[in-house]
Amino acid sequence: MDNTKIPKPTIKRLAVYHRCLENMVISGVASVSSNDLAERLGIKASQVRKDLSYFGEFGKRGVGYSTKHLLDSISEILGIRKKWKTCIVGMGNLGMALANYPGLENSGFIAKALFDNNPNKIGIPMPNDLVIESTEVLEEIVKKRQIEIGVITVPANAAQIIADLLANAGVTGIVNFAPIRLTLPPGISNEEIDISVSFRSLAFNMTFGSSRKGRRA
Ligand code: ATP
């Protein structure tokens, strides 16, 4: 659809609908009608229907919409980048660095929980009002906070256990910093980041790469 055809006042209202729908999704409200939305926002249902008619199928009177679907469509129209809820498991040096790195949040990856199994680390306050929590409560917290992405920064020998824990808890994406290939159930996207591989690849190119060939002894 052509976003430029939507009048400015409608866009403004869409932003208000967006905020309201976000809260509804967080509260687990699965479907919403134009009447619901109008009531929550104190505006006319006919206005909501008119605004939503820009989405074609959403404009139908009396039909409830999937809250999540409507939110996604409005996000797309508004060009709002999706925010992903993440958790980091393994608050060693790497986990700590990631938790303190504002670039992740700026890219839309918001840490909602930080976990470790070391009793000395549990309870340590962290940025964004988080504290390090025990992996014993990981499943419960991931479900409750609707965390979608798990970042694994535990040592290799613990990574598969953590991946299983995250998968059971319902994450649909894993970023694995541990130097081990994980076995994951279908439907979970997995990104492996092994920093040492990049360094080794660089070392190879520096040693044998054509651009500088002959400059080394
Ligand atoms: P530190 O020495 O502070 O633990 P590190 O980066 O050297 O830092 P690693 O041995 O790489 O530590 O472990 C990373 C983190 O993963 C540590 O905080 C450790 O307590 C945690 N960890 C290890 N095994 C598990 C596990 N099974 N579940 C949760 N966290 C774990």
**Interval 11-20: pLDDT, tens:** 879 988 988 9
The per-residue pLDDT for range 106-160, each reduced to its tens digit, is 667 899 999 999 999 999 999 999 999 999 999 999 999 999 999 999 999 999 9
The pLDDT-based confidence of 76 (bands split at 50, 70, 90) is confident
Q: Is the pLDDT of residue 52 over 80?
A: yes
**Percent over 70 (pLDDT), the chain:** 88
| Nearest-angstrom CA–CA distance, 26 and 40 | 15
Determine contact, residues 131/156, Cβ cutoff 8 Å: no
β-strand partners of 175: 151, 191
Q: Pull the structure tokens for residue 67.
A: 């809250």
Q: What is the pLDDT of residue 180?
A: 94
Q: What is the pLDDT of residue 208?
A: 85
Determine contact, residues 98/152, Cβ cutoff 8 Å: no
Report field, pTM of the whole predicted structure over 0.75:
no
Determine contact, residues 182/174, Cβ cutoff 8 Å: yes
Q: What is the mean pLDDT of the chain?
A: 88
Q: Pull the structure tokens for residue 160.
A: 């598969």
Cβ of 118 closer than 6 Å to ligand 1, yes or no, is yes
- Distance from residue 71's CA to the centre of ligand 1 (Å): 38
β-strand partners of 133: 115
Q: Is the pLDDT of residue 61 over 70?
A: no
- Distance from residue 92's CA to the centre of ligand 1 (Å): 5
Pocket test for ligand 1, best of 98, 100, 118 (most atoms within 8 A of CB): 118
The closest-lying atom of ligand 1 relative to the alpha carbon of residue 118 is 20
Which residues lie closer than 8 Å to 34 by C-beta, 6 or more apart?
Answer: 45, 48, 49, 52, 61
| Nearest-angstrom CA–CA distance, 155 and 178 | 6
Q: What is the pLDDT of residue 5?
A: 74
Q: What is the pLDDT of residue 12?
A: 79
- Distance from residue 156's CA to the centre of ligand 1 (Å): 10
Q: What is the pLDDT of residue 59?
A: 47
What is the identity of the amino acid at 195?
I
| Nearest-angstrom CA–CA distance, 16 and 38 | 11
Q: Mapping DSSP to helix (H, G, I), strand (E, B) and coil, where does residue 73 land?
A: helix
Cβ of 86 closer than 6 Å to ligand 1, yes or no, is no
The pLDDT-based confidence of 1 (bands split at 50, 70, 90) is low
Q: What is the CA radius of gyration of the chain?
A: 23
Q: What is the mean pLDDT of residues 72-82?
A: 76
Cα–Cα distance list, 178 to 163, 182, 194 (Å): 11, 9, 7
Neighbours of 217 (CB within 10 A): 2
Q: Is the pLDDT of residue 79 over 50?
A: yes
Cα–Cα distance list, 47 to 15, 52, 65, 84 (Å): 14, 9, 16, 31
Q: Is the pLDDT of residue 56 over 70?
A: no
